[in-house]
Amino acid sequence: MITTIKISHPSKIARGTINLTGSKSISNRALTIQALCLGDFNIENLSNSADTQTLIKLLASNDKALNTGHSGTTYRFMTAYCAVTGRETLLSGSERMNSRPIGELVRALRSLGANIDYVDKEGYPPLQISSKKITGSRVTLKADISSQFITALLLIAPRLTNGLEVILESEPVSRPYIEMTLRMMEYFGVSHTWNGLVIKIEGKDYVAKDYFVESDWSSASYLYAIAALADESDITINGLTDQALQGDSAISKMMTSFGIESIFTDRSVRITKTNNNSVPFFEYDFISQPDIAQTMSIVGAGKGTSMLFSGLQTLAIKETDRTKALKKELKKYGVSFVKMPT
């Protein structure tokens, strides 16, 4: 049964105060660190997303068959977690998840000594992970597929006797997500160096410390879009700061092109519309913030602004092909979304 929902806002004025759930990206990293840490600590403001709730469930489970559903983050983190903890696991996902590549992460873990077999198609889930101690300390990794492969390896590094050296074959996509991981690891007592394409993590256990998860900037981007498209806006979003771990916080700077001002306090941001002017043309490389390209495309469509985006290659291997979805939905409003020749 198809449900039709009609949304209207005759006043075209957006005002209010919003409490957002914690960042999914930060929550999933914090939970993985918590599971790998030898001591106990509390995590506040965890995301209520399905991905995070699935990860909580799987980390607590003693079952030998685990299913991550649609969540790519959960699948990648659990693959590395099960490998380093010697947990014998049949790890599967939804039909879409089983069509998303995992080969580069498996190859890297195997090079460190993990025993992982493909159940069906080579390079794709499901995986059979067998109990075997990982002894390696150096790995080479393609960096142009998903930053989550890199993060999954970095997170388990403190469990390796000699730490881990990750050699990237190229500049990584979504670099802010890797930087987020490293900053969180620093908070929990694990230091690193990053010189050129080489990241080194010391072989030292995580230190248990209570942690507060900042609110989700990807979710905040939708409120920024509402503010930009309204005639008048005055919205306060709690849980956000200008010292954010999340690369998607770049939305606050992008939106200045559409008359939106951000005023930060200790743990909140107030966004107001200072004028109704917007730039006629907007160009941006989303290689570090691919998730907010969708938000910006809607703002551009609503404001009649032509836009040129680059760095969208990772959107095709999300839970759905997001570039195709954008093209399909924008077409319904007479907006063209065309892939340019490279």
- Nearest C-alpha neighbor of 289 from the set 243, 338, 251, 337: 251
What 3-state DSSP class applies to 325?
Answer: helix
Instruction: Give the separation between CA 318 and CA 61, rounded to whole angstroms.
Output: 26
Q: Summarize the chain as % helix, strand, coil (round to 5).
A: 40, 20, 40
List 51, 216, 248, 291, catalytic entry: 291
- Helices 217-229, 293-303: crossing angle, 10 deg rounding: 0
- Helices 24-36, 50-60: crossing angle, 10 deg rounding: 10
Question: Omega into 176 within 30° of 0, i.e. cis?
Answer: no
Instruction: Give the separation between CA 110 and CA 327, rounded to whole angstroms.
Output: 38
Altogether, the residues listed in the chain come to a count of: 342
Confirm whether 291 is a catalytic residue. Answer: yes
List the catalytic residues: 291
